[in-house]
Structure 1
Amino acid sequence: MGFNDFMKNLSGNRFTGLQGGRQDIAFMRRLQRDLRTKETTSIPLDELQVIVFDLETTGFHPDKGDQILSIGAVKVTGCQIEDEYYSPVRYEKILPPSIKELTGLDEAELKKAPEPANALEQFFKFSGASPLVAHHASHEKAFMQYASRKYFRTPFSHRLIDTSFMYRIAEPDNRYVRLEDCCTHNQITIIGRHHALGDARLTAALWAVYIDKLQKLGINTLSQVYERLASIR
């Protein structure tokens, strides 16, 4: 599938966060049970359903008070787009000018947005027990771990796949780090950068490119991805 065809699939209905509602800790505990029993490493990559996601935040350190401002996600099976999720997240403080300029978010939008627990609950309902994918995922992992403990009293147990896993195998000499550089390298047009859903779409397109590259190398499952990574470390 070419990038233009891939991006056309992204124009369907969005699954948007619902405003209000209590924290559904019971749902999160059921999800934890599903995560413990769901085995994904042997599913062929071109059949594997993943949730490619991105967070916009006020900074890099949730344990020091930085907060999630928006969540964007794309549900992908193989290279086929199935659905999207996007929600801003309630934030009552004044945004630093640099964050406003970078993300395009503003205080009026965030003051009307769902509470963090509600936006995250809707995200987890959207994702279910599917593996999550993020570009250089340590940032997303830190915020998801902190938020899961704070709002739901549960650990963050989703399998989290970093896109760097893919290109470290497919292109070991690739030294690109930034999402826009990785996309440009793969002829993916940069649209919506630094918007949570825009970045999730770009990362989903990158995921699709590298699934194709890995399959051409004879790597067809996550298990094989992890085995190859272990051999090159």
Structure 2
Amino acid sequence: MICPSKRPRNKLAAVLVLLYEQAGELRVLLTTRSKALRTHAGQTALPGGKADDGDVSFVDTAFREAHEEVSLPLCSPDIYTLTFLEPFISLYRIVVTPVIAVLTRPVLLEELKPAEDEVACIFTHPLRAILDPGLARAERLVAIGEDWPYETELYSTTDSIVPILNDTVYRMHRFQSSASPIKGLTADILIKVAEVAYGETTVYGRYAPGQLEGFAAMSRVIDELQA
């Protein structure tokens, strides 16, 4: 497997950022994880997961996981892999590589099926609304309550200290959607994808004061902790 890091294979993962156009705007495929899962239960996720021994590349990992989770075809003439981004490091020290692909026949989404034990639902969200949450007002968003347990509509954020990453500061972004909140690593990845796609920055503060930015900075902290 092509590896952006010297970390053990069980610390490597990939996610699929599948984009498609609808009514002149880019949308991204997302899932809500089953509440029965041991980790990240009920949270929004991009299709993806840890690398298997049989995966030749991160593209293989991302598409294999998407096939297992939502029945996305492994080989489709309607899906084009564009590139992959610099890796992200999760709060559990997993190195996650986003694989970017485009779906040219959106009707294919109607054929997707959530894996019963892993995925509670499949939904999509406008990519540009990740840069400007106000653009999501046109969506059928969940109401404030159990599915959006925050006081402000559309967007919520908090800054916190992360002990397992040497007490670094981290800004958690949360976006209201038609299903579960888009937050954490999934939000971080989509912010980067949207910035690249549109050549624009966020209308809100992207990083907390003193927050580590980028894979290299995060990687150095982890290496120091493991030294």
Q: What TM bracket, shorter-length normalisation?
A: under 0.3
Q: Larger % of strand: which?
A: 2
Q: Which has the higher helix share?
A: 1
TM (norm. structure 1) is 0.23
